Amino acid sequence: MMKYDYLIVGSGLFGSIFAYEANKKGKTCLVIDKRSHVGGNVYTQEVEGIHVHKYGAHIFHTSNKEVWDYIQQFAQFNRYTNSPIANYKGEIYNMPFNMNTFNKLWGVVTPEQAKEKIDEQIKESGITEPQNLEEQAISLVGKDIYEKLVKGYTQKQWGRPCSELPSFIIKRLPVRFTYDNNYFNDLYQGIPIGGYTQIIEKMLEGIDVKVNCDFFEHRKELEEIADKIVFTGMIDQYYDYCYGELEYRSLRFEEEILDTDNYQGNAVVNYNEYEVPYTRIIEHKHFEYGTQPKTVITKEYPASWHKGDEPYYPMNDEKNNALYEKYKALAQKEDKVIFGGRLGMYKYFDMHHVIEEALKCVKKEMIPLRCKG
Protein backbone atom coordinates (compact mmCIF):
# COMPACT_ATOMS: atom_id res chain seq x y z
CA MET A 1 0.00 0.00 0.00
CA MET A 2 1.19 3.51 -0.85
CA LYS A 3 2.77 5.52 1.94
CA TYR A 4 1.53 9.13 2.18
CA ASP A 5 3.04 12.20 3.77
CA TYR A 6 -0.35 13.07 5.30
CA LEU A 7 -3.54 11.22 6.14
CA ILE A 8 -6.24 13.87 6.42
CA VAL A 9 -9.29 12.80 8.40
CA GLY A 10 -12.26 14.89 7.29
CA SER A 11 -12.87 16.68 3.98
CA GLY A 12 -14.38 19.89 5.34
CA LEU A 13 -12.74 23.26 4.82
CA PHE A 14 -9.83 22.68 7.21
CA GLY A 15 -8.87 19.27 5.85
CA SER A 16 -9.38 20.22 2.22
CA ILE A 17 -7.35 23.43 2.47
CA PHE A 18 -4.54 21.59 4.21
CA ALA A 19 -4.57 18.92 1.48
CA TYR A 20 -4.65 21.53 -1.30
CA GLU A 21 -1.72 23.51 0.09
CA ALA A 22 0.32 20.44 0.99
CA ASN A 23 -0.25 19.00 -2.49
CA LYS A 24 0.98 22.26 -4.05
CA LYS A 25 4.20 21.82 -2.08
CA GLY A 26 4.71 18.33 -3.45
CA LYS A 27 3.40 16.40 -0.43
CA THR A 28 1.28 13.29 -0.92
CA CYS A 29 -2.07 13.21 0.84
CA LEU A 30 -4.93 10.80 1.40
CA VAL A 31 -8.18 12.48 2.45
CA ILE A 32 -10.84 10.31 4.07
CA ASP A 33 -14.38 11.11 5.14
CA LYS A 34 -16.90 8.94 6.94
CA ARG A 35 -19.76 10.53 4.99
CA SER A 36 -20.65 9.56 1.43
CA HIS A 37 -19.44 12.90 0.07
CA VAL A 38 -16.70 15.48 0.50
CA GLY A 39 -17.19 18.96 1.94
CA GLY A 40 -18.08 18.36 5.57
CA ASN A 41 -20.82 20.68 6.75
CA VAL A 42 -20.41 23.11 3.84
CA TYR A 43 -21.62 20.43 1.41
CA THR A 44 -24.26 21.60 -1.05
CA GLN A 45 -26.35 19.36 -3.31
CA GLU A 46 -28.36 20.31 -6.38
CA VAL A 47 -32.08 19.59 -5.99
CA GLU A 48 -34.61 20.89 -8.55
CA GLY A 49 -31.86 23.12 -9.94
CA ILE A 50 -31.32 24.66 -6.49
CA HIS A 51 -28.08 24.38 -4.50
CA VAL A 52 -29.28 23.06 -1.16
CA HIS A 53 -27.15 23.68 1.96
CA LYS A 54 -27.50 20.17 3.38
CA TYR A 55 -26.18 20.97 6.85
CA GLY A 56 -27.68 24.39 7.50
CA ALA A 57 -27.25 27.86 6.03
CA HIS A 58 -23.66 28.80 5.18
CA ILE A 59 -23.16 32.47 4.38
CA PHE A 60 -19.55 33.37 3.80
CA HIS A 61 -18.37 36.58 5.47
CA THR A 62 -15.03 38.01 6.51
CA SER A 63 -13.13 41.24 6.95
CA ASN A 64 -9.85 39.47 6.20
CA LYS A 65 -8.97 40.29 2.58
CA GLU A 66 -6.44 37.47 2.45
CA VAL A 67 -9.18 34.96 3.31
CA TRP A 68 -11.64 36.58 0.87
CA ASP A 69 -9.11 36.49 -1.97
CA TYR A 70 -8.16 32.93 -1.09
CA ILE A 71 -11.67 31.46 -1.25
CA GLN A 72 -12.54 33.35 -4.43
CA GLN A 73 -9.92 31.46 -6.43
CA PHE A 74 -12.24 28.45 -6.22
CA ALA A 75 -15.60 30.07 -7.05
CA GLN A 76 -17.27 33.32 -7.99
CA PHE A 77 -19.34 34.77 -5.14
CA ASN A 78 -22.61 36.68 -5.49
CA ARG A 79 -23.71 39.75 -3.52
CA TYR A 80 -25.92 37.85 -1.05
CA THR A 81 -26.33 39.69 2.25
CA ASN A 82 -27.48 37.76 5.29
CA SER A 83 -30.72 39.40 6.43
CA PRO A 84 -32.70 36.85 8.42
CA ILE A 85 -36.12 37.66 9.80
CA ALA A 86 -37.67 36.43 13.02
CA ASN A 87 -41.20 35.07 13.32
CA TYR A 88 -42.57 35.36 16.85
CA LYS A 89 -46.20 34.19 17.08
CA GLY A 90 -46.90 35.52 13.59
CA GLU A 91 -45.16 38.85 14.14
CA ILE A 92 -42.20 39.48 11.83
CA TYR A 93 -39.07 41.25 13.12
CA ASN A 94 -35.87 42.17 11.34
CA MET A 95 -32.60 40.69 12.48
CA PRO A 96 -30.11 41.65 13.76
CA PHE A 97 -31.67 43.95 16.33
CA ASN A 98 -31.82 47.29 14.53
CA MET A 99 -34.06 50.31 14.07
CA ASN A 100 -36.58 48.29 12.05
CA THR A 101 -36.83 45.88 15.00
CA PHE A 102 -37.19 48.68 17.55
CA ASN A 103 -39.82 50.46 15.48
CA LYS A 104 -41.91 47.28 15.26
CA LEU A 105 -41.56 46.63 19.01
CA TRP A 106 -42.14 50.10 20.42
CA GLY A 107 -43.05 52.47 17.59
CA VAL A 108 -39.82 54.44 18.06
CA VAL A 109 -38.44 56.22 15.01
CA THR A 110 -35.08 57.73 15.96
CA PRO A 111 -31.96 56.08 17.39
CA GLU A 112 -32.22 58.36 20.42
CA GLN A 113 -35.75 57.11 21.18
CA ALA A 114 -34.63 53.48 20.80
CA LYS A 115 -31.64 54.00 23.07
CA GLU A 116 -33.84 55.63 25.70
CA LYS A 117 -36.23 52.68 25.64
CA ILE A 118 -33.46 50.08 25.88
CA ASP A 119 -31.56 52.03 28.55
CA GLU A 120 -34.75 52.31 30.56
CA GLN A 121 -35.25 48.53 30.47
CA ILE A 122 -31.60 47.83 31.25
CA LYS A 123 -31.76 50.17 34.23
CA GLU A 124 -34.94 48.50 35.47
CA SER A 125 -33.20 45.11 35.40
CA GLY A 126 -30.52 46.23 37.84
CA ILE A 127 -27.94 43.93 36.17
CA THR A 128 -24.40 45.33 36.32
CA GLU A 129 -22.28 42.18 35.99
CA PRO A 130 -24.05 39.55 33.85
CA GLN A 131 -23.41 36.02 35.08
CA ASN A 132 -25.15 34.11 32.29
CA LEU A 133 -26.72 34.52 28.88
CA GLU A 134 -30.09 35.67 30.20
CA GLU A 135 -28.53 38.46 32.23
CA GLN A 136 -26.15 39.34 29.41
CA ALA A 137 -29.01 39.63 26.90
CA ILE A 138 -31.14 41.79 29.18
CA SER A 139 -28.13 43.97 29.99
CA LEU A 140 -27.56 44.51 26.25
CA VAL A 141 -31.06 44.93 24.83
CA GLY A 142 -33.58 44.96 27.67
CA LYS A 143 -36.38 42.62 28.62
CA ASP A 144 -38.74 43.02 25.62
CA ILE A 145 -36.21 41.95 23.00
CA TYR A 146 -34.91 39.20 25.25
CA GLU A 147 -38.37 37.70 25.87
CA LYS A 148 -39.51 37.81 22.22
CA LEU A 149 -36.37 37.38 20.15
CA VAL A 150 -33.68 35.74 22.28
CA LYS A 151 -35.04 33.50 25.01
CA GLY A 152 -37.04 30.82 23.19
CA TYR A 153 -34.76 30.56 20.16
CA THR A 154 -31.60 30.30 22.24
CA GLN A 155 -33.05 27.72 24.62
CA LYS A 156 -34.06 25.58 21.64
CA GLN A 157 -30.67 25.99 20.01
CA TRP A 158 -28.60 25.06 23.05
CA GLY A 159 -31.00 22.75 24.87
CA ARG A 160 -30.59 24.60 28.15
CA PRO A 161 -32.29 27.49 29.92
CA CYS A 162 -30.64 30.82 29.14
CA SER A 163 -29.86 31.22 32.83
CA GLU A 164 -27.53 28.19 32.53
CA LEU A 165 -25.70 29.28 29.36
CA PRO A 166 -22.46 31.30 29.26
CA SER A 167 -22.84 35.00 28.57
CA PHE A 168 -20.47 35.13 25.56
CA ILE A 169 -22.94 33.42 23.19
CA ILE A 170 -25.16 36.49 22.89
CA LYS A 171 -22.20 38.61 21.77
CA ARG A 172 -22.58 36.99 18.37
CA LEU A 173 -25.86 38.93 17.91
CA PRO A 174 -25.09 42.49 16.77
CA VAL A 175 -27.21 45.41 18.03
CA ARG A 176 -27.45 48.44 15.75
CA PHE A 177 -29.14 51.80 15.85
CA THR A 178 -29.45 52.04 12.06
CA TYR A 179 -32.07 50.82 9.62
CA ASP A 180 -29.71 48.12 8.35
CA ASN A 181 -30.78 44.47 8.13
CA ASN A 182 -27.30 43.15 7.25
CA TYR A 183 -26.57 40.58 9.96
CA PHE A 184 -22.80 40.84 9.60
CA ASN A 185 -20.46 43.80 9.92
CA ASP A 186 -17.79 42.29 7.71
CA LEU A 187 -16.33 43.98 4.64
CA TYR A 188 -16.88 40.94 2.39
CA GLN A 189 -19.92 38.69 2.16
CA GLY A 190 -21.59 36.38 -0.32
CA ILE A 191 -22.55 32.89 -1.47
CA PRO A 192 -20.56 30.93 -4.07
CA ILE A 193 -22.51 30.81 -7.32
CA GLY A 194 -23.01 27.10 -7.90
CA GLY A 195 -22.70 26.08 -4.24
CA TYR A 196 -19.86 25.14 -1.90
CA THR A 197 -19.20 21.58 -3.04
CA GLN A 198 -17.40 22.78 -6.19
CA ILE A 199 -14.90 24.64 -3.96
CA ILE A 200 -13.97 21.48 -2.08
CA GLU A 201 -13.82 19.43 -5.28
CA LYS A 202 -11.40 21.93 -6.83
CA MET A 203 -9.23 21.88 -3.71
CA LEU A 204 -9.06 18.08 -3.83
CA GLU A 205 -8.29 17.73 -7.55
CA GLY A 206 -5.38 15.34 -8.06
CA ILE A 207 -5.50 14.17 -4.43
CA ASP A 208 -6.48 10.67 -3.30
CA VAL A 209 -9.88 10.73 -1.58
CA LYS A 210 -11.89 7.97 0.10
CA VAL A 211 -15.47 8.60 1.22
CA ASN A 212 -17.53 6.21 3.37
CA CYS A 213 -14.31 5.62 5.29
CA ASP A 214 -14.50 5.83 9.08
CA PHE A 215 -11.09 6.46 10.64
CA PHE A 216 -12.01 4.63 13.83
CA GLU A 217 -13.16 1.49 12.02
CA HIS A 218 -9.83 1.20 10.19
CA ARG A 219 -7.58 3.08 12.59
CA LYS A 220 -4.65 0.68 12.80
CA GLU A 221 -4.13 0.30 9.06
CA LEU A 222 -4.77 3.99 8.36
CA GLU A 223 -2.25 5.16 10.94
CA GLU A 224 0.40 3.05 9.21
CA ILE A 225 -0.02 4.51 5.72
CA ALA A 226 1.03 8.10 6.45
CA ASP A 227 3.88 9.87 8.19
CA LYS A 228 1.49 12.34 9.82
CA ILE A 229 -2.23 12.67 10.48
CA VAL A 230 -4.34 15.81 10.18
CA PHE A 231 -7.38 15.07 12.32
CA THR A 232 -10.52 17.22 12.10
CA GLY A 233 -12.86 14.95 14.03
CA MET A 234 -13.66 15.03 17.74
CA ILE A 235 -10.48 15.33 19.78
CA ASP A 236 -11.97 13.44 22.73
CA GLN A 237 -12.91 10.53 20.46
CA TYR A 238 -9.36 10.43 19.08
CA TYR A 239 -8.12 9.83 22.63
CA ASP A 240 -10.87 7.30 23.31
CA TYR A 241 -12.59 9.68 25.75
CA CYS A 242 -9.82 9.00 28.28
CA TYR A 243 -10.71 12.10 30.31
CA GLY A 244 -14.44 11.81 29.66
CA GLU A 245 -16.77 13.07 26.92
CA LEU A 246 -16.81 16.65 25.73
CA GLU A 247 -20.30 17.98 25.03
CA TYR A 248 -21.54 19.06 21.62
CA ARG A 249 -24.80 20.18 20.06
CA SER A 250 -26.34 18.30 17.20
CA LEU A 251 -28.89 19.29 14.56
CA ARG A 252 -31.63 17.53 12.61
CA PHE A 253 -32.82 18.61 9.18
CA GLU A 254 -36.15 18.00 7.43
CA GLU A 255 -36.01 18.82 3.73
CA GLU A 256 -39.10 19.32 1.55
CA ILE A 257 -39.62 20.07 -2.14
CA LEU A 258 -42.65 22.34 -2.53
CA ASP A 259 -44.67 22.99 -5.65
CA THR A 260 -44.41 26.77 -5.33
CA ASP A 261 -41.86 29.23 -6.60
CA ASN A 262 -41.59 31.19 -3.33
CA TYR A 263 -42.47 29.79 0.09
CA GLN A 264 -41.37 32.44 2.58
CA GLY A 265 -39.76 35.29 0.63
CA ASN A 266 -36.45 35.09 2.50
CA ALA A 267 -33.59 32.61 2.69
CA VAL A 268 -33.69 32.34 6.50
CA VAL A 269 -36.67 32.77 8.81
CA ASN A 270 -36.07 32.15 12.51
CA TYR A 271 -38.92 30.84 14.65
CA ASN A 272 -38.28 32.42 18.01
CA GLU A 273 -41.00 31.05 20.24
CA TYR A 274 -39.99 28.01 22.27
CA GLU A 275 -43.19 26.13 21.40
CA VAL A 276 -42.25 25.82 17.71
CA PRO A 277 -39.88 22.82 17.66
CA TYR A 278 -37.60 23.99 14.83
CA THR A 279 -35.33 27.02 15.12
CA ARG A 280 -35.56 28.15 11.52
CA ILE A 281 -36.71 27.39 7.99
CA ILE A 282 -34.21 27.81 5.18
CA GLU A 283 -35.46 28.43 1.62
CA HIS A 284 -32.33 27.71 -0.38
CA LYS A 285 -33.17 29.31 -3.73
CA HIS A 286 -32.96 32.80 -2.19
CA PHE A 287 -29.23 32.35 -1.53
CA GLU A 288 -28.65 32.58 -5.28
CA TYR A 289 -31.73 34.62 -6.28
CA GLY A 290 -33.28 31.56 -7.91
CA THR A 291 -36.30 31.69 -10.22
CA GLN A 292 -36.97 27.94 -10.41
CA PRO A 293 -40.65 26.86 -10.59
CA LYS A 294 -40.31 24.81 -7.39
CA THR A 295 -38.62 25.50 -4.09
CA VAL A 296 -36.71 23.48 -1.48
CA ILE A 297 -37.06 24.27 2.21
CA THR A 298 -35.27 22.82 5.23
CA LYS A 299 -36.59 22.89 8.75
CA GLU A 300 -33.70 22.94 11.20
CA TYR A 301 -34.21 21.29 14.57
CA PRO A 302 -31.74 21.52 17.43
CA ALA A 303 -30.85 18.22 19.05
CA SER A 304 -29.05 17.02 22.12
CA TRP A 305 -25.85 15.20 21.29
CA HIS A 306 -25.19 11.65 22.40
CA LYS A 307 -22.24 9.48 21.51
CA GLY A 308 -22.72 8.29 17.93
CA ASP A 309 -24.71 11.37 16.86
CA GLU A 310 -23.36 13.91 14.42
CA PRO A 311 -21.71 16.76 16.38
CA TYR A 312 -22.12 20.22 14.82
CA TYR A 313 -20.63 22.60 17.34
CA PRO A 314 -18.98 22.43 20.75
CA MET A 315 -20.58 23.44 24.05
CA ASN A 316 -17.94 25.97 25.05
CA ASP A 317 -18.98 26.47 28.65
CA GLU A 318 -16.54 26.56 31.55
CA LYS A 319 -16.80 22.85 32.36
CA ASN A 320 -16.22 21.67 28.78
CA ASN A 321 -13.45 24.15 28.09
CA ALA A 322 -11.62 22.93 31.18
CA LEU A 323 -11.96 19.34 29.98
CA TYR A 324 -10.76 20.32 26.50
CA GLU A 325 -7.58 21.78 28.02
CA LYS A 326 -6.69 18.27 29.22
CA TYR A 327 -7.07 16.89 25.70
CA LYS A 328 -5.19 19.87 24.28
CA ALA A 329 -2.27 19.06 26.57
CA LEU A 330 -2.17 15.55 25.07
CA ALA A 331 -2.36 17.00 21.55
CA GLN A 332 0.60 19.29 22.20
CA LYS A 333 2.79 16.29 22.95
CA GLU A 334 2.06 14.73 19.55
CA ASP A 335 4.75 14.76 16.88
CA LYS A 336 2.72 13.02 14.21
CA VAL A 337 -0.82 14.37 14.67
CA ILE A 338 -2.27 17.82 13.89
CA PHE A 339 -5.72 18.71 15.18
CA GLY A 340 -7.88 21.20 13.29
CA GLY A 341 -11.39 22.49 12.69
CA ARG A 342 -14.35 22.97 15.02
CA LEU A 343 -14.21 19.48 16.48
CA GLY A 344 -10.46 18.97 16.55
CA MET A 345 -9.85 22.34 18.22
CA TYR A 346 -13.16 22.40 20.14
CA LYS A 347 -14.03 25.95 19.10
CA TYR A 348 -17.06 27.56 17.52
CA PHE A 349 -15.51 28.61 14.22
CA ASP A 350 -17.27 30.30 11.33
CA MET A 351 -16.01 29.40 7.84
CA HIS A 352 -13.59 32.31 7.60
CA HIS A 353 -12.08 31.35 10.96
CA VAL A 354 -11.53 27.79 9.73
CA ILE A 355 -9.75 29.09 6.62
CA GLU A 356 -7.54 31.35 8.75
CA GLU A 357 -6.66 28.47 11.06
CA ALA A 358 -5.98 26.07 8.20
CA LEU A 359 -3.70 28.50 6.37
CA LYS A 360 -1.89 29.31 9.61
CA CYS A 361 -1.45 25.61 10.30
CA VAL A 362 -0.13 24.84 6.82
CA LYS A 363 2.33 27.70 7.05
CA LYS A 364 3.70 26.44 10.37
CA GLU A 365 3.76 22.82 9.28
CA MET A 366 5.56 23.44 6.01
CA ILE A 367 8.29 25.69 7.51
CA PRO A 368 8.51 23.06 9.08
CA LEU A 369 7.11 23.78 12.50
CA ARG A 370 4.37 21.81 14.19
CA CYS A 371 0.83 23.17 14.40
CA LYS A 372 -0.96 22.09 17.51
CA GLY A 373 -4.60 21.99 18.58
Q: Give the Cα separation of 104 and 92 in Å (integer).
A: 9
Catalytic choice (247, 350, 356, 370): 350
Give the residue ranges of DSSP H helices in 88-230. 99-106, 111-125, 133-145, 151-158, 197-203, 219-223
Which of the following is catalytic: 112, 124, 172, 239? 172
Is 370 a known active-site residue? Answer: no
134, 249, 313, 327: which one is catalytic? 249
Annotated catalytic residue within 243, 348, 356, 370: 348
**Pick the catalytic residue: 236, 300, 357, 365?**
300
Annotation marks residue 280 as catalytic:
yes
Q: Which residue among 21, 55, 134, 176 is the active-site one?
A: 176
Task: Tell me how far apart the alpha carbons of residues 232 and 304 are, in angstroms, rounded to a whole number.
Answer: 21
Helix (H) or strand (E) holding 235: helix 235-238
350 belongs to the catalytic site: yes
- Catalytic (active site) residue 46: no
DSSP string, 349-372: --HHHHHHHHHHHHHHHHTT----
The answer to whether 172 is a known catalytic residue is: yes
Report how far apart, in Å, the C-alpha atoms of 104 and of each of 25, 93, 97, 153 are. 55, 7, 11, 19
The 3-state DSSP composition of the chain as helix, strand, coil percent (nearest 5) reads 35, 20, 40
Catalytic annotation, pick one of 6, 33, 280, 357 = 280
**The dihedral formed by the CA atoms of 179, 181, 184 and 190, expressed in degrees to the nearest 10:** -130
348 is catalytic: yes
Instruction: Look up 219 and say whether it is catalytic.
Output: no
Which residues are identified as catalytic?
Answer: 172, 176, 249, 280, 300, 348, 350
